Amino acid sequence: MQTDEATRSRALQITQDFVPRMGKAYAAGRNHDRGPGRHRDVSQLSAHVRRRLITEQELVAAALDHHGAGAAEKFIQEVLWRGYFKGWLEQRPQVWAHYVSGLDADLAMLDRDDALRARVEAAERGETGLACFDAWARELIETGYLHNHARMWFASIWIFTFRLPWRIGADFFLRHLLDGDPASNTCSWRWVAGLHTRGKAYEAKAWNIAKFTGNRFTPRENDLATDVIGLEDQEPGGLPEIVPLRSCTPPWRDVPTALVLTEEDCRLEDFDLLSIDIRGAVMLQSSHLRSPRTVAGHVSDFEAGALRDAADRIGHPAVELRADAPEGLALWAEQIGAQQIAMPYVPTGPLADWITRARPALEARGIVLTEWQREWDRLIWPHATAGFFKVKKKIPQILRTTGLT
């Protein structure tokens, strides 16, 4: 398949083209899924924002400049949902750990249950016989993208109509979505399942699908589950307690440094690179860590393109390193004489798990892992302790503090 260009210049072009629609047009049209190649009411910038080829702050600034806070309110809120989910998972990393272990158990169950495996495979191929669901499954596989409303319908049908394990559905998304983000994906599937906001599972309704697909799909009411009950009984202990946000050590000045580029943040030029003694740079490729199963080639290709673009923009040659054996990073850093690793903050997810496994090898060689953290994240994350409303209330303050208003 052909995917969009994974570069900052492409992200800026898409933004420029979509800016006129970031105001009232976005608020009016954002829930309409018009089908592949016709998603005119949403920016489709998510794959670029996920790598921060363009930042959330830049998008909000563009919306404010062209439309003002009132007209751009809904677009700004949707941009901040990404930060909300990241902050929520940062403060409940146990939820990610439970997802990982639960997915392993679900996949083991598929190995034992031939009938369940056949139903999952049919759903993933888009061969269930439910036209809307099958079309979304094929669109996801073929394009690496789904409209957000379609993602909600798809997840609800997967969980409540077909009664398939929610974590395998979340894994299906994470393996194929170009914008696949551990926090947004996990929390969104949990929200649909009634696990994120307890007692509020999302029910896909036939009239809603027909209305917001422009009658491209008109399922019958009895095609969909009507007895939607959240999966709270699968987590009888409720949500885990909030833990303090992880602190990080910023890079030290004038210390021999190994610069690590990851898909978590491809705007390294925003940080103070001139103050550190860069001995070498590496593009750490990690898309394969998303799942125990095979991750779509278009996902790893997009990541590789974003990393190359990031390296080009900082003007520093960078070698490729696949995140396989955790000791590999330490060996490379030692070979170039580095005393510290410098990288943008890596939030909770598969890459953070891998880095945790790499720390002992770094420490054994006297190499300190340091991170830059963005003000945008520091301002949003502390408020992401419950529902989105707490973050929503803080938006005016966040915009003032960052100088956007």
Give every strand in the sheet of 340-344, ordered side by side: 318-322, 277-285, 256-261, 340-344, 368-372
3-state helix, strand, coil in the chain (%, to 5): 55, 5, 35
**Which of the pair, 198 or 338, is modelled with greater confidence?**
338
Where does CATH 1.25.40 sit in the chain? 8-89+379-401
pLDDT at 2 over 80: no
Cα separation, 183 vs 185, in Å, equals 6
Strands 256-261 and 277-285: parallel
Q: What is the pLDDT of residue 237?
A: 84
Average pLDDT over residues 165-184: 98
- Tell me the average pLDDT across 206-222: 98
| Domain 256-373, CATH homologous superfamily name and number | HUPs (3.40.50.620)
* 3 confidence band (pLDDT: 50, 70, 90): low
Residue 8 has a pLDDT of 98
- Which tokens in the block code for residue 77? 């809120």
Q: Is the pTM of this model over 0.85?
A: yes
Q: Where does the chain hold its CATH 3.40.50.620 domain(s)? A: 256-373
Structure tokens at 59: 């998008």
Distance CA 120, CA 114 (A): 10
Residue 276 CB partners (closer than 8 Å, separation 6+): 251, 252, 253, 254, 255, 257, 259, 342
Q: What is the pLDDT of residue 199?
A: 82
Using alpha carbons only, what angle is made at residue 28 by residues 177 and 182, rounded to the nearest 5 degrees?
Answer: 20
24: CB partners within 8 A, 6+ apart: 67, 71
User: Which residues touch 150 (CB under 8 Å, ≥6 apart)?
Assistant: 33, 136, 139
* 216-268 pLDDT per residue, tens: 999 999 999 998 999 999 888 889 999 999 999 999 999 999 999 999 999 99
Among 57, 165, 155, which residue's Cα sits nearest to residue 108? 165
Residues 397, 244, 266, 30: is their CA dihedral positive or negative? negative
Q: What is the pLDDT of residue 393?
A: 97
Task: Render pLDDT for 69-108 as a digit per residue (tens, 0 to 9).
Answer: 999 999 999 999 999 999 999 999 999 999 999 999 999 9
The domain 8-89+379-401: what is its CATH number?
1.25.40
In the prediction, which pLDDT does 238 show? 86
- Helix, strand, or coil (residue 319): strand
Helix axes 148-156, 182-193, angle to 10 degrees: 50
- Overall average pLDDT of the 62-74 stretch: 98
CB 18 within 8 A of CB 32: no
Query: For a pLDDT cut of 90, what percent of the chain falls above it?
Result: 96
User: Tokens standing for 67?
Assistant: 């439309």
Q: Which CATH superfamily is domain 96-234 in?
A: DNA Cyclobutane Dipyrimidine Photolyase, subunit A, domain 3 (1.10.579.10)
CATH 1.10.579.10 placement within the chain: 96-234
